[in-house]
């Protein structure tokens, strides 16, 4: 019986996903554990593996690659040798069986047991598989990758194929984007004739649509000096959430300057003790996470969220860390920070940051946070106004640590050089008032100035 392969739900909050790349082609044999395709959820790329054995079948004319699809959307089937997939069983076009031995081949064979002829009624060409990085490079170099032969795994196009094509001179190049080529097939536009009218220019979807509807009004041409890059799915998600936070919360930011001299000494001691220790050295963000978690257990109103008309306060402290990646801002979550040692926090946060930056982080590691930290100190930022990570109540911004001359005894007129740092707390005034928020920030300040008393918990 044919097994349906659908857009999976990769995390409780996932509602849609984008099919980035096929790693199995129509007719390929698959075994349990084989990677079939790559899905982009809101904040990560995820390889989807098979749990079945059989022959991988993609419905002909399927236009799902690169599209944002709801969870549960049918993508493909896995059928057994000799079994027709549902789209062929319902079609007058029958599977053509190639000359084969009388006994059906094993699933361990290198060759599929049947070959199929796809219906050509839609006139649509199947594009080759291409890696996400190769797709980006092709767009940057204006290379039409749809006609390339891939040298990667399963024949997919990889970056070296695109760069080789960009360096290879061609007598009469036809520069056309894959989206424009598909549009031309759908609208019946002769791309060869269109290319002859535009020598040396790259054909885009707009050119194809204009050729298909020549009487339509011509939009204003973009400034050729401008660099136009479509927003990625992650960038759209970030934009939507930032706007939602700004429009729905009554955000207020409190800022205080903290003497972090003792915190600097603690971290230096940890670095010195880690010379022969393979474990990650706790960062200032790790130290602040632990201290903040201790303060949150005393001030649960800042560890809350608004759920409908109810104010929900969690006894557990799950801290999110804002991480800057090439794809955009991602917030991995370390759970139960108040119950973990500083070394445990450092090891978990280091692993999550690495996964976030290489795009392999699990969706569940990006959800469930009750409080967020964001550190811009490494960029020489003193104080700023963080945006609340909905549906949380508050977020703490960490500024740089700077040596300053400060008054330590006004009566004796004594000055000293101390390591000073600004902390910026943005909170939702709908959930908590200013005085409780100020007391929480004051408690964090006390913990930072006397870290030895709290980091050992």
Query: In DSSP terms, which residues pair with 55 in a beta bridge?
Result: 29, 79
Distance between CA atoms of residues 283 and 286, nearest Å:
5
- Are 273 and 337 in the same domain? yes
Residue 228 lies in a domain: no
Do 97 and 145 have their domain in common?
A: no
For 9, residues 6+ apart whose C-beta sits below 8 A from its C-beta are 71, 72
- State both tokens at 410: 């006004």
C-alpha–C-alpha distance, residues 178 and 155, integer Å: 18
Q: 190, 240, 277, 429: which one is catalytic?
A: 429
Alpha helices in 274-333 (DSSP H): 284-298
206 and 260 both lie in a single domain: no
**CATH number for the domain harbouring residue 337:** 3.30.559.10
**Residue keyed to tokens 């290319």:** 195
**Is 382 in contact with 30 (CB distance < 8 Å)?**
no
The CATH number covering residue 20 comes to: 2.40.50.100
Distance from C-alpha of 380 to C-alpha of 366, rounded to nearest angstrom: 27
Q: What's the CA gap between 39 and 76, in Å, rounded? A: 14
- Whether residue 227 is contained in a domain is answered as no
Domain boundary among the residues 89, 104, 126 is at: 126
| CA geometry: angle 450, 452, 457, nearest 5 deg | 120
Specify whether 160 is located in the same domain as 279: no
> How far does CA 226 lie from the centroid of its chain?
26
The residue annotated as part of the active site, out of 63, 336, 364, 433, is: 433
What residues does 56 pair with on adjacent strands? 78
Conformation bin of residue 347: beta by default, left when phi > 0, alpha when psi is -120 to 50: alpha
- Residue 55 belongs to a domain: yes
Active site residue 429: yes
- Residues 270-282 have pLDDT tens digits of 998 888 888 899 9
1 and 143 fall within a common domain: no
Q: How far is CA 280 from the centre of its chain?
A: 24
Query: Which residue, chain included where needed, has tokens 């990650």?
Result: 280
* Domain-ending residue, one of 126, 145, 180: 126
Boundary (domain end) residue, out of 126, 147, 169? 126
**Quick one: pLDDT at residue 61?**
72
Contact in structure between 305 and 372 (CB atoms under 8 Å): no
In this structure, are 364 and 424 located in the same domain? yes
The answer as to whether 223 is a domain residue is no
Cβ distance 245 to 389 under 8 Å?
yes
**Tokens 């409080």 label which residue?**
371
Does the pTM exceed 0.85?
no
Residues 299 and 439 grouped into a single domain: yes
Residue pLDDT, tens place only, 35-80? 888 887 766 777 888 888 899 998 887 777 877 788 888 889 998 8
Please report the pLDDT score of residue 301 as a whole number: 94
Residues 83 and 205 in one domain: no
Q: How far apart, in whole angstroms, are the C-alpha atoms of residue 355 and residue 360?
A: 5
Residue 393 structural domain: 234-453
The answer as to whether 373 is a domain residue is yes
Angle between helices 261-273 and 284-298 (to 10 degrees): 120
Residue 91's SS3 state is coil
CB 428, CB 249: distance < 8 Å: yes
The answer to whether the beta carbons of residues 93 and 61 sit under 8 Å apart is no
Helices assigned H by DSSP within 214-307: 233-248, 261-273, 284-298
pLDDT of residue 107: 39
Length of the chain: 457
Contact between 147 and 138 under an 8 Å Cβ cutoff? The reply is: no
* Nearest Cα residue to 39 out of 120, 132, 168, 173: 132
Q: Domain check: are 197 and 240 in the same one?
A: no
Total domains in the fold of the chain: 3
> Per-residue DSSP letters for 55-71?
EEE--TT---BT-EEET
User: Is 158 inside a domain boundary?
Assistant: yes
Question: Coil, strand, or helix at residue 211?
Answer: helix
Same domain, yes or no, for 275 and 409?
Answer: yes
Give the per-residue pLDDT at 20: 81
Residues 399 and 377 sit within 8 Å (Cβ to Cβ): yes
**Digitized pLDDT (tens) for each residue of the chain, 457 residues in all:** 788 888 888 776 677 888 888 888 888 999 888 888 888 776 677 788 888 889 999 888 777 787 778 888 888 999 888 888 888 765 444 434 333 444 444 434 333 333 333 343 343 345 567 776 777 777 667 677 777 888 876 677 888 888 788 776 554 456 676 677 878 888 888 877 887 777 767 788 778 888 888 776 655 666 677 777 777 667 777 788 888 888 889 999 999 999 999 999 999 999 988 888 888 999 999 999 999 999 999 999 999 998 888 889 889 999 999 999 887 889 999 999 999 999 999 999 999 999 988 888 888 898 899 999 999 999 999 999 999 999 999 999 999 999 999 998 899 989 999 999 999 999 999 999 999 999 999 999 999 999 987 776 5
383 part of a folded domain: yes
Contact 59, 10 (CB under 8 A): no
Cβ proximity of 404 and 365 under 8 Å: no
Instruction: Tally Cβ neighbours within 10 Å of residue 146.
Output: 18
Rounded Cα gap, residues 21 and 193, in angstroms: 31
Matching residue, tokens 């001359």: 405
Within a domain: residue 257? yes
Per-residue confidence (pLDDT) for residue 98, from 0 to 100 = 38
- Does residue 338 carry a catalytic annotation? no
| 145 contacts 134 by C-beta, under 8 angstroms | yes
Q: Are 102 and 82 within one domain?
A: yes
Tokens of 327: 């794809």
Q: Are residues 294 and 206 in the same domain?
A: no
């Amino acid at each position: 019986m044919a097994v349906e392969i659908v857009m999976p739900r990769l995390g409780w909050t996932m509602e849609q996903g984008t099919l980035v790349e096929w790693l199995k082609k129509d007719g390929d044999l698959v075994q349990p554990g084989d990677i079939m395709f790559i899905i982009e959820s809101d904040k990560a790329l995820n390889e989807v593996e098979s749990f079945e054995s059989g022959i991988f079948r993609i419905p002909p004319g399927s236009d799902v690659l690169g599209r944002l699809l709801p969870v549960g959307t049918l993508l493909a089937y896995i059928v057994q040798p000799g079994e027709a997939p549902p789209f062929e069983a319902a079609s007058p076009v029958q599977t053509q069986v190639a000359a084969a031995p009388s006994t059906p081949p094993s699933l361990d064979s290198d060759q599929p047991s049947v070959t199929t002829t796809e219906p050509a009624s839609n006139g649509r060409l199947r594009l080759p598989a291409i890696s996400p990085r190769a797709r980006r490079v092709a767009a940057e170099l204006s290379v039409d990758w749809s006609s390339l032969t891939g040298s990667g795994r399963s024949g997919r196009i990889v970056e070296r194929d695109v760069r080789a094509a960009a360096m290879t001179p061609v007598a009469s190049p036809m520069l056309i984007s894959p989206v424009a080529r598909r549009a031309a097939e759908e609208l019946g536009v002769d791309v060869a004739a269109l290319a002859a009218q535009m020598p040396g220019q790259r054909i885009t979807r707009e050119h194809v649509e204009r050729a298909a509807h020549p009487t339509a009004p011509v939009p204003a041409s973009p400034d050729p000096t401008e660099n136009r890059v479509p927003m990625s799915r992650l960038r759209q998600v970030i934009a939507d959430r930032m706007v939602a936070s700004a429009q729905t919360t009554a955000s207020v930011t409190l800022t205080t300057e903290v003497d972090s001299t003792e915190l600097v000494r603690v971290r230096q001691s940890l670095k010195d003790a880690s010379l022969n220790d393979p474990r990650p050295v706790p960062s200032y963000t790790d130290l602040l996470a632990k201290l903040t978690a201790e303060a949150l257990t005393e001030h649960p109103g800042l560890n809350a969220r608004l759920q409908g008309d109810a104010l929900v306060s969690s006894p557990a402290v799950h801290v999110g860390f804002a991480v800057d990646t090439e794809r955009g801002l991602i917030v991995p979550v370390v759970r139960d920070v108040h119950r973990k040692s500083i070394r445990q926090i450092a090891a978990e946060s280091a692993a999550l940051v690495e996964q976030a930056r290489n795009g392999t982080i699990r969706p569940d590691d990006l959800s469930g946070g009750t409080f967020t930290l964001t550190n811009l100190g490494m960029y020489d930022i003193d104080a700023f106004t963080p945006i609340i990570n909905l549906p949380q109540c508050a977020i703490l911004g960490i500024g740089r640590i700077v040596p300053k001359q400060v008054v330590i005894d006004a009566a004796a007129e004594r000055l000293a050089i101390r390591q000073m740092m600004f902390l910026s707390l943005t909170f939702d005034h709908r959930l908590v008032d200013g005085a409780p928020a100020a007391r929480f920030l004051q408690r964090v300040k006390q913990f930072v100035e006397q870290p030895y008393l709290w980091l050992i918990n």
